[in-house]
Amino acid sequence: MRIESLLIVAASFLGLTSAQLAGDNGMFGSPVTLVSSRDVESVLKEDSSDSLSVPDWFDSTVAKIKSWADSELKKIAWDLVDDLGHDIKGEDMYWNFVPRHVATLSHSSEQRQEFEGRCFKSVKIHSYPEEDGSLTIEATYKHPTSPMCAEYLILGNSADFDMQYRFFHGTETYKWTSGSGKVYIFDLRTSFSSAVEGIIKTADFMFSHDVFEFLKRFPELTFDKRADPGIPDIKEDDIHPGDAVLVTYMVGSSASIMWVSGSVASHSVIFLRDPGTGILHAVEASAQGIHKMTFEEFLKEDAGWYNNAVLVPLKEEQRAKFDNDAAWKKFVTDFEGNDYGYNNLVFSAIDSMDGNYPCLPMDDYQTCLSWEFVEVLCGLLDRVSPEMANLLFLQGYNHRIGTTGLNMTEIVKVTELMYPGLSGVLPALPEEDQWEYPIHHDGKPTTGPSRVCSALVCEMLRAGGIFGDHEVSCTEFTPWDIYSMDIFTTPTYQLKGQKSITDHMAESCRTQITADSYYERAPHC
């Protein structure tokens, strides 16, 4: 569930500029740009991603960004005398470099917009199209809050983006020539130096440093360590086919999944019994692919890691109708040996136009991840690593609009034609279970279904008859969706750790079985 595969390149905003975008004023007449796009792309394109797995590529990219921030960006920050924003400390610094979306500009007409910045009470944006197809953007800064506070504006879309800064009141004029699509305006909500420190702290977190600190502050979860966690005394006879396990790993990627999905679990597993041998297996989709392991192997897995695993049994009436043999046949025929579902991983978290994106505690949750920001990040990743972009989201976006082989900028243009003014609808278009992707089966290239852990659990429940005639889109499922369905019973059983999956989770947004659905939200949700 690595929505962070998009966020890891967000740090590039802090220094990226385009040769196509120029300003006419800076600090004491100096240039307003910080770092060129060529510099950043050289950092991220240093190695080819062709031979790297997604986890290895992810780790390599995070390491490059951290090194870049710790050297070049720190040097730039040292030269900027920006005295505001340093009050963001400690756990609030994670992801503090994610900017706030404040305006959207169009090439089709003249527009005027205004917002309150970090350093100026009023920032007015005036844009108008030129005959040559470019867009002129005037930014007027008024009512500064401090003479030594810099406003950092980011202008961008899927084709390009640029960061400018302003210390003094007045007007700057920019000419945007990179594409004819919408241009988004973002405002960095902390100082440049604080954001650079935030990049470094977030990179360390993604390498699993200070995970408990992040969980306590962001999703507000506390995991108390025990001196003697003990050994689970559950027996194999106590577990039945169709029972699920919700797992939490204390690593940066899992903690990020919990934050963006609002869940205490970051991974899900389901138990099935081999009809031929009678052996009980834990079935899962993980970074190692879609595979099975015996119950004993599952309990021993991740020895030495702090993790939390909760057994969630099916209700008696659901257990009685669960067809283990049908689910097992579906598993070994369609899924076992396939790759993990990286192809639609992003869409399990980014699945709405707005209102469902994670927000940051640094400014009382006023700054949130936005589709506009995601669109720009997708464009950046498409430019620096087209193979990885194709794997992670381009194929999924193409499926949604009925196209093949389009890059991110082309996808945005087609979406605008299909849904005028609603490019943000793209991630909200649901994934369809019948879509196929280029994958590997037992190491050999093929095409087939792409499933993450929770989607696989859903598939097994569906194959086993749990949903009856109800239509369920398994590829849309997250771990939270799994344990929110009214098909499991309590009490749950703690296999590892000590954290219940249901403490105060979604108390006001329960799911319920109705005549039409096994998965229906309360009316106000």
Whole-angstrom distance, CA of residue 522 vs CA of residue 502:
17
The answer to whether the beta carbons of residues 23 and 172 sit under 8 Å apart is yes
Q: Is residue 252 part of a domain?
A: yes
Of 163, 188, 206, the residue at which a domain comes to its end is 206
Asked whether residue 249 falls in the same domain as residue 330, the answer is yes
Last residue of a domain, one of 206, 227, 262: 206
213 in any annotated domain: no
Strands 100-105 and 151-157: unpaired
Strand, coil or helix: what is 319? helix
Return the number of other C-beta atoms located less than 10 Å from residue 299's C-beta: 18
| Domain shared by 375 and 444, yes or no | yes
On whether both 36 and 153 belong to a single domain, the answer is yes
Q: Is 259 a domain residue?
A: yes
CA 104 – CA 386 distance, rounded (Å): 26
pTM: 0.85
pLDDT at 465: 96
Question: Domain limits at 49?
Answer: 4-206
375 and 486, same domain (yes or no): no
Residue 298 lies in a domain: yes
Decide if 222 is inside a domain: no
214: in domain: no
- The total domain count for the chain is 3
Residue at a domain's end among 165, 186, 206? 206
Do residues 258 and 405 share a domain?
no
Same domain, residue pair 309 and 405: no
248 and 152 share a domain? no
What token pair was written down for 99?
């900017």
Q: Are residues 381 and 501 in the same domain?
A: no
Residues of the chain whose pLDDT is less than 70? Answer: 1-32, 35-38, 46-50, 83-87, 224-233, 302-306, 348-349, 351-355, 490-525
Same domain, 325 and 444: no
CATH number for the domain that contains residue 298: 3.90.1720
Are 367 and 516 in the same domain?
A: no
Tell which residue, 500, 506, 458, has the closest CA to residue 482: 458
Tell me the per-residue pLDDT of 243-299, one tens digit each, with 9 for 90 and over. Answer: 999 888 888 888 888 888 777 888 999 999 999 999 999 999 998 899 999 988 887
Is 220 inside any structural domain?
no
Burial 223-253 (b: 16+ CB within 10 A, else e): beeeeeeeeeeeeeeebebbbbbbbbbbbbb
Residue 277 phi, psi (nearest 5): -105, -20
Has residue 216 been placed in a domain? no
* 155 and 16 in a common domain: yes
Pair 304, 358 in one domain = no
